[in-house]
């Protein structure tokens, strides 16, 4: 007979636990003790709950690699004790944190479900209660003694998405996230309907937590009229090791000679250039158009259908391993945690 399911709820901060300061009228985070009083329904679950609250609580705009390491450590330290984890997190950078954790938690065989809300949980119309309750159900779900969702995912507005496939695209609607290149892992209605064929399968290996992240990277978003000074100053950043190139459409970029020359010069100096599309759907296909063929010839790496959020965190993770440049470039072009379709 299966023992009582145990869930660790990790509260990092974010809108879900915020109330309005009567003096400044701005939203600020509260302690979990106050948040918990808005969710007495937790007592109806036949699960064992425990809570971990970060001090200080963090607005998600202040998220950074150091915090991701601390979050990964909390999961590592409690991994054998709990069956699943629910992480309450601000929505603004949730896709970055979920992506980062997916790479940091190698051989993950338990659910790590991120959720939050667009309205504070103390408000009458909040979406936080439903998101939170759904996340608990998913984190606790088992079939034949095996977790149904043994991966890092985001649960928001009746959808479950692979964490490293998501992007926040709406700051007003409750449906804040989109997964433009990968179907949802589950749809939530009267029942929770899982797309089991899409969910990563457990490998039952020992969890390995990667805690070295290298943030010596930059994002260069292309736009019509981008000038030489902007591009050259980006590549001149001290200590820079890699640049995420946000290109047009299927990986296209200007064909003017100065632009390609600057990129080639950076690559020749040992920098990694990773090509991702600005589009929310679709993929990079270097060479499909003349405007991308030149990038491939000089050594720019194509990112297929990876999101910018996932590209940034994957690059930090791979650079942090200390692997040679050639091996990092090879791993950028294969799917490590289901983050892209090759």
Point out the residues that are catalytic. Answer: 15
Handedness of CA 82, 86, 89, 94 (dihedral sign): positive
Q: Tell me which residue of 125, 124, 49 sits closest to 88, measured CA to CA.
A: 49
DSSP 69-93: HHHHHHHHHHTTT-SEEEEE--STT
Please give the structure tokens belonging to residue 163: 């964490």
- Residue 77 structure tokens: 């330290």
**DSSP letter string over 105-141?**
EET--S-EEEE--SS-TTSTT-SHHHHHHHHHHHHH-
- Which residue do the tokens 């990129």 mark? 263
DSSP string, 265-327: HHHHTT-EEEEEESSSS----TTSSHHHHHHHHHTPEE-TT--HHHHHHHHHHHHHTT--HHH
Residue 134 contacts residue 161 (beta carbons within 8 Å): no
Among candidate residues 115, 121, 169, the one with its CA nearest the CA of residue 138: 115
Interatomic CA distance for residues 159 and 341, integer angstroms: 21
Quick check: helix, strand or coil at residue 183? coil
- Cβ neighbour number for residue 15 with a 10 Å cutoff: 24
Query: Looking up tokens 């007592």, which residue turns up?
Result: 43
Q: Are 35 and 9 contacting, i.e. CB atoms less than 8 angstroms apart?
A: no
């Amino acid at each position: 007979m299966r023992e009582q399911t145990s869930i660790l709820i990790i509260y990092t901060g974010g809108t879900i636990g915020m109330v309005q300061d009567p003096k400044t009228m701005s939203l600020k985070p509260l302690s979990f003790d106050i948040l918990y009083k808005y969710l007495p329904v937790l007592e109806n679950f036949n699960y064992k709950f425990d809570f971990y609250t970060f001090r200080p609580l963090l607005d998600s705009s202040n998220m950074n690699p150091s915090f991701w390491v601390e979050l990964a450590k909390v999961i590592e330290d409690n991994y054998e004790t709990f069956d699943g984890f629910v992480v309450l997190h601000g929505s603004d950078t949730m896709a970055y944190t979920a992506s980062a954790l997916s790479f940091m938690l190698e051989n993950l065989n338990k659910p790590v479900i991120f959720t939050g809300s667009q309205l504070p949980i103390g408000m009458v119309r909040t979406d936080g209660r439903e998101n939170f309750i759904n996340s608990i159900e998913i984190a606790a779900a088992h079939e034949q003694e095996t977790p149904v969702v043994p991966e890092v995912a985001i649960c928001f507005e009746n959808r479950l998405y692979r964490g490293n496939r998501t992007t926040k695209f709406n700051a007003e609607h409750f449906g804040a996230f989109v997964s433009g290149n990968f179907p949802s892992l589950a749809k939530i209605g009267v029942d929770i309907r899982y797309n089991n064929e899409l969910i990563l399968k457990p490998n039952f290996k020992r969890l390995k937590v990667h805690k070295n992240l290298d943030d010596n990277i930059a994002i260069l978003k292309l736009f019509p009229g981008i000038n030489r000074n902007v591009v050259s100053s980006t590549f001149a950043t001290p200590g820079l090791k890699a640049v995420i190139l946000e290109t047009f459409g299927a990986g296209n970029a200007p064909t003017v000679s100065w632009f390609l020359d600057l990129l080639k010069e950076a690559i020749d100096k040992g920098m990694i250039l990773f090509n991702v599309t600005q589009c929310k759907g679709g993929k990079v296909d270097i060479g499909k158009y003349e405007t991308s063929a030149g990038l491939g010839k000089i050594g720019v790496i194509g990112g297929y259908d990876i999101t910018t959020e996932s590209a940034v965190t994957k690059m930090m993770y791979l650079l942090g391993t200390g692997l040679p440049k050639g091996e990092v470039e090879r791993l950028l072009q294969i799917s490590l945690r289901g983050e892209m379709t090759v």
